[in-house]
Amino acid sequence: VRPPRVLMVSRRHCRKNKFVDIVGEYHLDLVQESKAAPIVIPRTVRTISHLAEYLPMDGLIIAEGNDMSDDVLQKYGCAVPGRLEGESAEKYASDTEFDVSKDELEFALLQFALSVGCPVLTFCRGCQMLNA
């Protein structure tokens, strides 16, 4: 019997002038302590056309990441929140950048999970997506 497969999308991070995809160890530990297998979905542009390759999915975790892009929110019929501007936007630049690939992947996975009754655990931005 295979363990439950819990999917989560990686987060892009710049390290030594190169992009790397990461998932926080806390979330990986959470899944493994539950006797499930964490399946990390790379947040690359090409991944969205290959999502079926990562199924079946027994659970989905949406956590970690920047604010969702206005374009993706509008695409899914969600209200666009106010954004930081001026000095505040410069001070918190990493919080004002968008990762459209991650947004698209997570919205697609969330919609699929909800449509088939798959359990979803959300933190922070995941809660925002679930309530959007």
pLDDT truncated to tens, each residue of the chain (132 aa)? 999 999 999 998 888 998 888 999 999 999 999 999 999 999 988 898 998 999 999 999 999 888 888 888 888 887 777 776 777 667 666 666 788 889 999 999 999 999 999 999 998 888 888 887
Domains (range + CATH), the chain: 5-130 (3.40.50.880)
Length of the chain: 132
Strand order in the sheet with 5-9: 37-41, 5-9, 59-62, 120-122
Q: Do 31 and 61 contact (CB within 8 A), yes or no? A: yes
pLDDT at 86: 75
User: What digits encode the pLDDT tens for the residues 6-22?
Assistant: 999 999 888 899 888 89
Name the pTM for this structure: 0.85
Question: How far from 76 is each of 65, 104, 121, CA to CA, in Å?
Answer: 18, 10, 20
